């Protein structure tokens, strides 16, 4: 089973949004998918409870209560939604469960500063330093042609971590979450710009570049 974790110590940067969308992307592609929520806020579990029964099923794990013990044996991919404020030993323990780590970062000075510290801490974790887990960063809630997005883009380009994709700020993400869907499960005429922006992220996740 492959483990893809979405994490950033900074709150509100899009961890649950990315985790639910990655899970539904792989479920739609025919993989057996489980979604583990390490956050007692349960955003990913709440999303799963909203998921219509006619969509490819995703197993939910309340990992904040009992870890990954109940992970279904048959699952191909386990997507893990990590909680905010993970540092130190908690961070190292979480990283132990992942081979691929996706780090969303918002275009805001506060978020970029906090994420810079987080990325440095993450890169110092032994498993990542030894390249037994791969990190990729994703700019999230981006508004093109804004100064702050230019700053984020420059920062991520120079941060010496793979900069995988930039996702725009869009109501589609809120719409999809509310309906228990992923962005790929919205109608094409609404979501095609988001599908295009996700392409480099899904390509990276499918490639060996995101795996140790
Ligand atoms: N690309 C986007 N466009 C529009 N809204 C977004 C986007 N990404 C996330 N959001 C919204 O931003 C808010 C925070 O996102 P989300 O809950 O995914 O972040 P989080 O990192 O999981 O937060 P927390 O640290 O509280 O767990 C939510 O209201 C979500 O719907
Ligand atoms: Mg969350």
How confident is the model over 22-53, as pLDDT tens digits?
A: 999 999 999 999 999 999 999 999 999 999 99
Please give the helix or strand (H or E) that residue 205 lies within, else none.
helix 188-206
Q: Compute CA distances 72 → 68, 76, 180, whole Å.
A: 9, 9, 21
The Å distance, Cα 149 to ligand 2 centre, comes to: 22
CA angle 75, 177, 68 (to 5 degrees): 30
Q: In angstroms, rounded to a whole number, what is the distance separating the alpha carbons of residues 157 and 125?
A: 21
Which ligand has its closest atom nearest to the C-alpha of 168?
Answer: 1
Residues with CB under 6 A from ligand 1: 11-17, 39, 41, 43, 84, 140-141, 167, 169-170, 173-174, 177
Backbone φ and ψ for 177, nearest 5 degrees, come out as: -55, -45
Give residue 108's Cα distance to chain centre: 18
Measured in Å, residue 86 CA sits from the centre of ligand 2 at 12
Per-residue pLDDT of the chain (212 residues; tens, 9 = 90+): 999 999 999 999 999 999 999 999 999 999 999 999 999 999 999 999 999 999 999 999 999 999 999 999 899 999 999 999 888 999 999 999 999 999 999 999 999 999 999 999 999 999 999 999 999 999 999 999 999 999 999 999 999 999 999 999 999 999 999 999 999 999 999 999 999 999 999 999 999 999 99
What number does the ligand 1 atom closest to the CA of 83 have?
Answer: 27
């Amino acid at each position: 089973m492959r483990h893809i974790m979405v994490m950033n110590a900074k709150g509100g940067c899009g961890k649950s949004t990315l985790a639910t969308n990655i899970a539904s992307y792989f479920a739609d592609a025919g993989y057996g998918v489980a979604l583990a929520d390490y956050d007692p806020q349960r955003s990913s579990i709440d999303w799963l409870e909203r998921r219509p029964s006619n969509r490819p099923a995703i197993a939910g794990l309340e990992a904040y209560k009992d870890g990954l013990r109940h992970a279904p044996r048959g699952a191909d991919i386990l997507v893990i939604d990590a909680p905010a404020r993970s540092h130190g030993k908690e961070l190292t323990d979480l990283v132990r469960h992942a081979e691929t780590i996706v780090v969303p970062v918002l275009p805001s000075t506060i978020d970029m500063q906090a994420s810079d510290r987080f990325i440095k801490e993450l890169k110092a974790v032994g498993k990542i330093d030894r390249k037994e887990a791969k990190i990729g960063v994703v700019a999230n809630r981006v508004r093109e042609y804004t100064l702050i997005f230019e700053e984020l883009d420059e920062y991520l380009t120079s941060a010496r971590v793979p900069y995988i994709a930039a996702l725009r700020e869009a109501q589609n993400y809120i719409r999809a979450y509310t309906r228990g869907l992923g962005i790929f499960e919205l109608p094409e005429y609404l979501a095609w710009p988001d599908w295009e922006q996700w392409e480099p992220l899904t390509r990276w996740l499918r490639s060996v570049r995101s795996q140790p």
